[in-house]
Amino acid sequence: MTEGILRVCFRKKGVIRYISHLDTMRMFLKAFARADIELKYSEGFNPHPRLSFALPLSVGMQSEYELAEFYTVPDENGAYPDEKAAQEALSRELSFCGMGINFCEYYSPDKGMKPFSEIESAEYKIVPEHPLSREDGEKAAKDLADFLGLDAINVEKRTKNGGTKTTDIKSMIFCAEIESGADGAYLRLVLSADPQKYLNPEYVISALTAKYPKFIDILGGGDIIRTRIDFRK
């Protein structure tokens, strides 16, 4: 364990998708306070709780797998809060708003856990607003294969300074396929989540619907759900 860093894997689904990343952080801070789990603060003139989120989720997106880390304070005996008890307490405090805790685990390289800087990819499923028939799914799969066969997939990507830059995102799309689920077919994406090459799934959807307009009927109004975050092997 490294400095009592509690890694929390959580879900963010339902109407809670519409709150900002900053408000999500605030909700967690209140949940930790109500759960009586003390967090470590930074030093200096403006101390603040030490925490970090792996891949802040865009407003409107849902997720079944988000990662965040919180620096906790040990008790007088040098022991840190119990992982299972922390999971139960945080789940109790956050369940009312559509957030749930998948697990809590103390970060430790000895257990093979990697830092957030080693994140490689994120997986998403884009679920159509209306169920997709088998025939439409097969047609969509064909167009998707043609799309992935393009020499380049250029989009106008937003930059940190507020501008835009034409970027070829083809190499950032690790996987794109139509899959069948209990409620019908959906689009599965595995995209680069490297800190230097992060690809928002909205760019893929935008490029796909621009090239094949009928995908608007399939993906327009559908839910974007993050299902996994994976580290480099």
Tell me the two tokens of residue 16: 């809670």
Please, are residues 95 and 198 in contact by the beta-carbon 8 Å criterion?
no
pTM over 0.85: yes
Same topology for domains 5-113 and 118-231, yes or no?
Answer: yes
Give the pLDDT confidence of 116-128 residue by residue, as tens digits.
999 999 999 998 8
Give DSSP secondary structure letters for 63-95: EEEEEEEEEB---TTSPPPPHHHHHHHHHHHHG
Cα–Cα distance for residue pair 199/204, rounded to 1 Å: 8
Cα–Cα distance for residue pair 180/59, rounded to 1 Å: 26
Model confidence at 134, pLDDT cuts 50, 70, 90, reads confident
Give the whole-number percent of the chain exceeding pLDDT 70. Answer: 98
Residue of 211, 73, 92 whose CA lies nearest to 142: 211
Tell me the two tokens of residue 103: 């697990």
Cα–Cα distance for residue pair 112/107, rounded to 1 Å: 9
CATH number of 118-231: 3.30.70
Q: Which fold has domain 5-113?
A: Alpha-Beta Plaits (3.30.70)
Give the pLDDT confidence of 177-221 residue by residue, as tens digits.
988 877 778 899 999 999 889 999 999 999 998 888 877 777 767
Cα–Cα distance for residue pair 60/188, rounded to 1 Å: 18
Give DSSP secondary structure letters for 107-153: --GGGT---GGGEEEEEEEEE-SSPPPHHHHHHHHHHHHHHHTSS--
Q: Domain ranges in the chain? A: 5-113, 118-231
Give the pLDDT confidence of 2-51 residue by residue, as tens digits.
679 999 999 999 899 999 999 999 999 999 999 999 999 998 888 999 99
Cα–Cα distance for residue pair 179/122, rounded to 1 Å: 17
Amino acid occupying residue 157: K
Cα–Cα distance for residue pair 61/48, rounded to 1 Å: 27
Amino acid occupying residue 149: G
